With several copies, the nearest count.
Chain A
Amino acid sequence: MEHDLSPEANELRDMVRTFLERKAPESAVRTTIEAGHGRDEDVWTQMAGQLGLQGLLVPEDLGGQGTTPVEMGVVLEEIGRALLPSPFVSSSVIAVSALIGADDTDASGDLLRGLADGSRIATVAFSSGLLGRDKESTVAASEPEGGWQLSGEVAAVLDAGAADTILVFAPTLEGTGLFAVEAAATERTPLTLLDLTRQASSVRLVDVPATRIGGEAGDVEARVLATAAAALCAESAGAAQRVLEMAVEHAKVREQFGKPIGAFQAVKHLCADIFTVAESATAVARHAARSLADQDATLGSVQLETSLAKAYVSEHGADAAEKNIQVHGGIGYTWEHPAHLYLRKLKSNELLFGDAVAHRAQMARVLGLKAPAAPHDVVDVRGENATV
């Protein structure tokens, strides 16, 4: 029972943990990684059918459970803990949030139903913010004869390979729009990720027909980016908790110089440091989820609180995994030991959707440390002024 979670959220956590311990133990995770599938189809189906996890954020009238980012955060912690390879973050968190944010049920209702029951998979191609550099997307939208078309390249789209639908944030002549395209109509080239439990592709679009969802979507994209950052924080928090358990277990049983290594102060302090990171990451990830769940929060406030979490987790998360390897010594440096899988996850999550420096810069803007942007900057919804 964790007292910063509701009884229901505690129950959900126990249920998901039991499910994943049974269905996605380390051996199964390794099988999925080696097969290169990105997910175990049976687990995915059961997550949707038995537990309804893919529909957590989808409103009840569209077949989902209509719960909040707080409950979703608990599930993401467990997914991070189990290192479950799946397009869950892309489809059930990021894509669903984009569609809900765009608030256009006419255009997106069917897709949301499909995402909720796990029968469809979607992902989001951002105009910027995943990689945090210039020109990560060159996609632009045009409307030649009544129908929208997208052309350009996106350097990286998470789970594009598994997706049926790619949602694309792209500039139009008037602001940013959100568009849905059939993934099969795009050219997807798989990338090799440091995190072996995640997949991504670069995506090229040439005059791909697109359905527009909702209106001006600059703020929607900013909020979805905040959601994505918070989701990675929750994943990382769960991973860090497992890393802590691993380090402590090892320190208790491994003997050196005639006693358990956990009796040595240096090992105690390494474990205490990992504990500090795991506890703090969990606390800030849940804090970020609460801020996303707050209906009254402004975009600026959501950005501040989620960036707070991402700045902390990006600055310290990988440290927990690195110290865990240090506690393990040589054995932690082997392929067979899971320590590196967690290191890869935590290091990768550190850099995706903005590193600590980028999120601190965003916080500085929201906190007013920066000179206010000139009016013409605000109109340009892409790039770093978009989030002022």
Chain B
Amino acid sequence: MNVTDELREFLDKHLPPFREVWGERPSYEGRLVWQGILQRGRWVAPQWSKENGGRGLDVVEALACSEVLADYQAPATAGIFGVANVGPTIAQWGTDEQKQSLIPILEGTELWCQGFSEPSTGSDLAGLRTRAVLDGDEFVINGQKIWTSDAHRAHQIQLLVRTDPEAPKHKGISALLVPLETPGIEIRPIQQINGDAEFCEVFFTDVRVPRSALLGPMNQGWMVTMTTLGHERSGVVTHASAVVREIESMVDSFSFAKAGHELSPHLQDELIERYVEGRVVGILGERSLESIKATGQPGSEQSIIKLEWSLFTQRLSSTRLALGGADAVIGADEQSNMSYLQARSATIAGGTTEVMKNILAQRVLGLPA
């Protein structure tokens, strides 16, 4: 049986009873439960190797599975940072002991976060100052992380620390795997502009972990991290097709048949302009997929998908408000307000638009730094 058919069968069987208990928009707890169910069929990360809890699918098959999950509007899994980022890095760099985490990551019993950004770094990620000093067989960690997604829920953190203050800034960094219950760690959620708290500050005061917490070679943490970020690549393709689904369903909701009326010429034009932009992101994603299929690597279009997606998201959030009109800002449409506020982070988080354009100009176009 075709792998996507197998997945469909699985979903047909398990999704309806899950929904009966947790509803259409499950809470975080519900998503954790769903992740456990999904992993019983090894569907959380089917592109992972079989011994690590996946199915060893290639990128095209894996993306096809994502599409099926999206078709079914299956709930998002809960432990996304472990599955998408930390797990693949451990799989590549980890010791056998560290790889013990991989199955729990997929099952959702071990939740991870990533401690990269610091208050003083911002766009200059490699300028991080949190230090780890070897004291016998232990690292002693002192410093502060910020914008750590999900830290308030996670069990473990993949941490970047400076282990050689004398080296050039990219070369003195190591990656550590640290249980968040280790003494000396304090976690403070950051309330965002929409009132939610998705990010945290994490403080480290004389936190001691064994030498075995080191992931990959000492002082090679930058390279290890870049691998992690590299694993988000095919994620961009999934993301691009999610954008297409979002805009298509939005346009559909304003169809004459569903809405019962036409939009004003101006709003119609604005909505279709968003549709064009969203579809272009999708088409760039498809183009990227062709490169990944042929070479295992995305092409240069990859570098603009995040840029275009982030601007699209912000424009779409403004269009949502425009479609709601003044009603939207005066209480009738809280969803649009939230999406407008949330969208502010699209051009900041994961690399500001300004920095990404610099990188694009330098790395892809070869302009001088």
A binds B: yes
Which residues in A have some Cβ–Cβ distance to B below 8 Å? 1-4, 130-133, 155-156, 191-195, 200, 244, 248, 251-252, 254-260, 262-269, 271-273, 275-276, 279-280, 283-284, 286-287, 308, 311-312, 315, 318, 322, 325-326, 329-330, 332-337, 339-340, 343-344, 347-348, 351-353, 355-357, 360-361, 363-364, 367-372
Interface residue from A4, A267, A351 paired with B290 (Cβ < 8 Å): A4
| Complex-state Cα separation, A13 to B341, whole angstroms | 32
Is A357's CB under 8 angstroms from B269's CB? Answer: yes
Beyond contacts A256-B127, A280-B304, A356-B273: 15 other A-B pairs, Cβ-Cβ < 8 A, are A3-B290, A192-B334, A200-B330, A257-B123, A269-B354, A271-B367, A275-B365, A308-B280, A322-B344, A330-B117, A332-B348, A347-B340, A351-B322, A361-B272, A367-B252
A311 touches B362 (CB 8 A): no
Asked if B268 CB lies within 8 Å of chain A CBs, one says: yes
26 cross-chain CB contacts under 8 A: A3-B293, A130-B326, A131-B330, A195-B329, A248-B365, A252-B367, A269-B361, A273-B357, A275-B361, A284-B283, A286-B287, A308-B276, A308-B280, A325-B344, A325-B348, A326-B348, A330-B345, A330-B349, A334-B193, A335-B193, A343-B193, A352-B330, A357-B269, A360-B268, A367-B252, A368-B252
Q: List chain B residues, Cβ under 8 A from A347.
A: 321, 329, 340
A256–B348 Cα distance when bound, in Å, is 14
Among residues of A, the one whose C-beta sits closest to the C-beta of B193 is A340
Is the CB of B327 closer than 8 A to any CB of chain A? yes
Per-residue A-contact encoding for B271-314, CB less than 8 Å = 1, 0 else: 11101110110011011001101110001110010011000001
Binary interface encoding of chain B residues 73-99 relative to chain A, with 1 for a CB under 8 A from any of its CBs, else 0 = 000000000000000000000000000
Asked whether, in the complex, the Cβ of B349 is within 8 Å of the Cβ of A279, the reply is no
**Contact B325–A369 (Cβ < 8 Å):** no
A contact residues around B146 at 8 Å (CB) = 330
Contact partner of B299 (CB less than 8 A), chosen from A3, A308, A315, is A3
Cβ of B286: which chain A residues have Cβ within 8 Å of it? 4, 287
Assembly CA distance A275 to B263 (angstroms): 34
The reply to whether A355 and B325 form a contact with Cβ atoms under 8 Å apart is: yes
- One digit per residue, 1 when the CB lies within 8 angstroms of any chain A CB and 0 when it does not, for chain B 215-247 equals 000000000000000000000000000000000
For residues 303 through 359 of chain B, which have their beta carbon under 8 Å from a beta carbon of chain A? 304, 307-308, 314, 318, 321-322, 325-332, 334, 337, 340-341, 344-345, 347-349, 352-354, 357-358
| Closest-CB distance, A49 to chain B (whole angstroms) | 32
Chain A residues closer than 8 Å to B290, beta-carbon distance: 3-4
A286 to chain B, nearest CB (A): 8
Interface residues of B in 202-223 (CB under 8 A from A): none
> How far, in angstroms, from A89 to B175 measured CA to CA in the complex?
55
In Å, the complex CA distance between A276 and B314 comes to: 17
Tally of contacts, chain A with chain B, CB under 8 A: 246
A-B pairs with the 3 shortest C-beta distances?
Answer: A191-B331, A340-B193, A268-B361
- Secondary structure dominating the interface of B: helix
Question: B256 and A252: CB pair below 8 A?
Answer: no
Cα A155 to Cα B279 with chains together (Å) = 34
- Which residue on chain A has the smallest CB distance to residue B196? A335
Q: Are B193 and A262 in contact (CB under 8 A)?
A: no
> With contacts A252-B367, A272-B360, A280-B308 known, is A369 near B262, CB below 8 A?
yes
**Residue contact A369 to B127, C-beta cutoff 8 Å:** no
Chain A CB within 8 A of B136 CB: no
Q: Give A117 Cβ to nearest chain B Cβ, in Å.
A: 30
Q: Which of B255, B264, B280 contacts A312 (CB 8 A)?
A: B280
Contact among B192, B269, B271, B325 for A334, CB-based, below 8 A: B192
A279 touches which one: B301, B325, B369 (CB < 8 A)?
Answer: B301
Kindly list chain A residues whose C-beta atoms are within 8 Å of the C-beta of B287.
3-4, 283, 286
Could you tell me the distance between the alpha carbons of A251 and B358 in the complex, rounded to whole angstroms?
Answer: 14
Q: A3: which of B191, B294, B347 is its contact (CB, 8 Å)? A: B294
Within the complex, what minimum Cβ distance (angstroms) separates B302 from chain A? 10
- Whether B7 sits at the interface, judged by CB under 8 Å, is no
Instruction: Out of A131, A263, A368, name the residue touching B368 (CB < 8 Å).
Output: A263
B167 close to chain A: CB less than 8 A: no
Q: Tell yes or no: B18 within 8 A of A by CB.
A: no
Contacts of B191 in A (CB 8 A): 334-336
Which residues of B sit under 8 angstroms from A2, Cβ to Cβ? 299
Residues in B neighbouring A263, C-beta threshold 8 A: 367-369
Contact partners of A286 in chain B: CB under 8 A: 287
How far is A156 from B329 in the complex, measured between Cα atoms in Å?
A: 11
The residue on A at minimum CB distance from B281 is A280
Asked if A280 and B147 sit within 8 Å, CB to CB, the answer is no
Minimum C-beta distance from B105 to chain A (A): 26
- Quote the shortest CB–CB distance from B308 to chain A (angstroms): 7
Asked if B354 contacts A248 (CB within 8 A), the reply is: no
Q: Is the CB of B326 within 8 A of A284?
A: no
